[in-house]
Structure 1
Amino acid sequence: EEQLFSIYILKNKSSVLLIKKSLHPFSESHQIFARVGDNITLPCRLKHDPSFSFGASSNRIKWSKLEGSDYEIGVLLSMGLHKVTFGRFQKRIHLLEADENDASLLMTNTELKDFGFYKCEISNGMHDSTFEVEIQMQGVVFPYSPHLGRYNLNFHDAEAACLGQDAVVASFEQLYQAWKGGLDWCNAGWLSDGTVQYPITRPREPCGGRRTDAGLRTYGQQNKFSSRFDVFCFTVGFAGHVFFVDGKLTYDEAAEACLAGGAEMAKVSHVFAAWKLQGYDHCDAGWLADGSVRYPISRPRMKCSPAEAAVRFVGFPDKKLQLYGAYCYQAQP
């Protein structure tokens, strides 16, 4: 039987990382975006065929979540009036069944572990159809290093650093999507699978060399205790807004200014989410909660960020001597 494959080739200076995912030759693929806590519908619909009818007891619907290339976990199994849900999906999913051809899955209160690929299989005697759905988290990937400087985090420190920014360590898929969206960063960082990688859209020295292709450079699996790198974090955004307080403020004065405005000092994740997801643009450098000074530019221009849209990083200046404005975050009530 003919097989179709979806292939991503990501090159680095010493090797090629190949990911291959087999697809049923008659399958359809869908991609939906969601955030943690959302109620979503995973589409799966049988094309009209007189020999199929969901009213028949011989119809079998199976939903599963794909975990890696050769492992899947059960989500739901339906045979006529008999339906079974599995594990953590119980009480949060059920079939839509809008009509006799509909096998779409309703999922409530989406959790972090729910994101990824799902497979819907419909079979009836000699006939079967397979559909693939990807739930992709709506959010933003951002690189992070602490005030100690680059390459100071082992894997567990990296997890704590992201959590401190209201984020999690990014997955390979999330970094790959961010790279496709234009993320270019020359410092290597931890990913959630224990690998260390970095995304390059503009090949150059010393980021793998000018003659290499654009892609994700990888150092492969690293020792989670002794190896030290930066980290790529992922945040799903926030319910609130970021604003800037102008002035020449020390770090403590910046914190007080945010509190006076009914807010708190913004975290790095807040500024990246506001910049990436809301187009936030402000040319003045300001303090953030981790002691860094940054500013978000969505419209590149002279004296701000002439070459690219980015969250510009000034550094971790002396909190008592250096004077900047403040970026504040106010959550929705």
Structure 2
Amino acid sequence: MAPPTAGNGRSPVVVLDDDRRSRRTSPSRRTGLWRIARRITGLGRRTAVSGIAVAAPVAEQLGKQLGREALRRAAPVAQQLAAPVIEKLPPQLTVPLSAPLARLAGPPAGRTVRRALAVRVAGRDLVPDPESLAAAYPDATGRILVLVPGAGEDERVWQTGVEQTGASYGDRLAALLGWTPVTLRHDPGAELSVTGLELGGLLQQLVDGWPVPAERIVLLGHGTGGLVARGACGVQSLGATPWRPLVTELIALGTPHLAASQQPVTRGVGRAIDEALAGIVVVGRDVVDVPALPGVDYLLITDRTQTRGNPVGRALGELLWWRHRLPATRREVQDLFPTAERFEVSTGTQPLANHTDVHDALLRWLA
């Protein structure tokens, strides 16, 4: 089979002979390349070197096209250049090359991007423009309760256990205190810094298009949804009526509250136990450095079995924290909610997403 050629008809930078060796790559350079590829992809030597050879023209032509142009503008060109050669790659190399280009290039013409967060009404995503909001919330009040689920969850998480409690948080607060609940969808996979930005923009759209003047906003997050809400509070409000000054409470249910910038010392089951007991989440500095929003009450509700007071949790927790203090495995951990009031409930029979004790607390706090 003839080797792939560059767009000008000449042979590409890297050409393989029958022995799968590059004519233009030194032995030491070639060895390093296929060793890296094998380590990343788990491929054999022959397939790894072939993948590098086929991908090399893409890198060369992409470098020529980019120059000083913005990366996003060049991404569609890169996609066109990459398509003929990416299809020749094994699956292990296809996604790492094609997925970043697709994200940079954006959606095809006529298609919309599915954001990680979206307002949900009647089981469907809602575009938060004034007309749609007026139709979806005909009885809207100036008190907006935004319910942010954890990654991989949507509005249905708040209905868990409703047969025991009689209502979700949003329904009860709407009936008794006149709050208007706004539920969201939260897709998994997006970084916390990205979802925090998305939520900040979404909240501004809500305030700008809300059927009545917004008076007060409460953010109620479940699991990692609490971290997303915290991140959104670090996003500057740019609307005519900024949303951040309207926030009075951020309530986090079962949200990891300790941040570590390094990977945990444990792996597999040990890592899961480690993080669950200590409430640790591994995040970057862009997430850790979000300051508390002035004037906002941060309220953190956790499962009592995950606290240090639990005998089993205390024994395992002390062991894990002692291990973290070893010189070879020391980790720096920072409290993500240093100003928060902390509360504990037992989740043996009811989940935090719909818990009787949380219902009672919300009725007191949001009166």
Normalising by the residue count of structure 2, what TM-score does the alignment of the two structures yield?
A: 0.21
> Greater relative contact order: 1 or 2 (C-alpha under 8 angstroms, separation 6 or more)?
1
Q: Whose helix proportion is higher, 1 or 2?
A: 2
Q: Which protein has the bigger strand share?
A: 1
Q: TM-score, normalised by structure 1?
A: 0.22
